[in-house]
Amino acid sequence: MSSPARVLVVDDSPTMRGLITAVLNSDPEVSVVGQASDALEARAAIKELNPDVVTLDIEMPNMNGLEFLDKIMRLRPMPVIMVSTMTHQGANATLAALEIGAFDCVGKPSPGDARPFLDLAEKVKAAARSGLRRKASPPAPAITPSAEYRVGRKVVAIGSSTGGVEALITVLQNFPKNCPPTVITQHMPSTFTKSFAERLNRLCAPVVEEATDGARLQIGKIYVAPGGDRHLEVVNPSAPSCRLVEREPVNGHRPSVDVLFDSVATLAGRNAVGVILTGMGRDGASGLLTMRRAGARTIGQNEKTCVVYGMPRVAHEIGAVEQQLPLGAIGEEILKLTAARKEGVE
């Protein structure tokens, strides 16, 4: 970017506003142009300052962050990064915000956190580059499981990051109850993934759950990698199952999409479908290439429908993506690639 990303910081706590401002202003490519303590002040500041990005506290007096976010997305769409407490209740509110159209979320630091808001500046810069975000359309209702769909023997692996909450809902709501075993790594704080899996389980026909160590891969089940200190792999060809592995972050992430994709390539080879969705950075690109070289079918989300065309772009550039598709077509294509052949199961 030729000029710094201009940010409005909205939080009812003067301490938190000061901390966020200090963290952002320490990056020469970011400039905090204003602060607001509630939605009313924020509305006036947005009109006066026209910031590139807003950081928005979910819990505020008068009008909470979710209500204000909804108004922003309807009346003046712009990139918004939600700031949330790292609690189960905060996770549910954050997921709702991401569905409304927030660009991304960050957790408030815990006491004694030596490096608070470590990745906030990078997210702000990516949000500024993304331009306006319009309010997300309500996800289409889950399809009625088709009597014509017969699942084959393939495993599906999906990786996503920024924008992934909306994207995954869109893709998975196309899955019938008897979907192929599906494993997902979505970059998300550890306190959010369980709530996200529960949310997907309510919205989708298959069973969706947070992956646990040793869980057997089953038809009709989707497994979401838990955030935090372990990577998700799939292992054991005779009885495919999830394995949670304590390793250093890969590409700055734990869990890492590359780790998941590499394990699927080893386990399933050509009996797999790999999908890389919207997200910053390059995590998953190398692993998707490994999957393709092992014979798997691979799909990348196209630029037009990505919130951030980062991970899919790198995957496409290195030859990992067999076909690029708009988000709305990916779920149906996965089902085509995983269906059993009419003359017999693949």
Which of the residues are catalytic? 161, 187, 283
What is the DSSP annotation of 2-58? Answer: -SPEEEEEE-S-HHHHHHHHHHHHTSTTEEEEEEESSHHHHHHHHHHH--SEEEEES
Half-sphere exposure of residue 112: CA atoms within 13 angstroms, side-chain side: 0
Say how far apart CA 47 and CA 282 lie, in whole Å. 35
Helix (H) or strand (E) holding 314: helix 311-317
The token pair that represents 193 in the structure block? 């993934």
CB atoms within 10 A of CB 75: 10
Q: What are the start-end ranges of the H helices in 103-220?
A: 120-130, 164-172, 190-203
What is the DSSP annotation of 76-129? Answer: S---EEEEE-SSHHHHHHHHHHHHHT-SEEEEPPPTT-SSTTTTHHHHHHHHHH
Say how far apart CA 139 and CA 296 lie, in whole Å. 28
125-145 burial, b for 16+ CB within 10 Å, e for fewer?
bbbbbbeebebbeeeeebbee
Q: Is the peptide bond before 181 cis (omega within 30 degrees of 0)?
A: no
What is the DSSP annotation of 221-239? Answer: EEEEPPSSS-EEEEE-TTS
Yes or no: say if 293 and 322 are a contact pair by the CB < 8 Å rule.
no
CA dist list (Å): 20 to 27, 29, 34, 56, 202 = 12, 15, 12, 11, 34
Residue 261: partners with Cβ closer than 8 Å, 6 or more residues away: 157, 159, 274, 284, 286, 287, 288, 290, 291
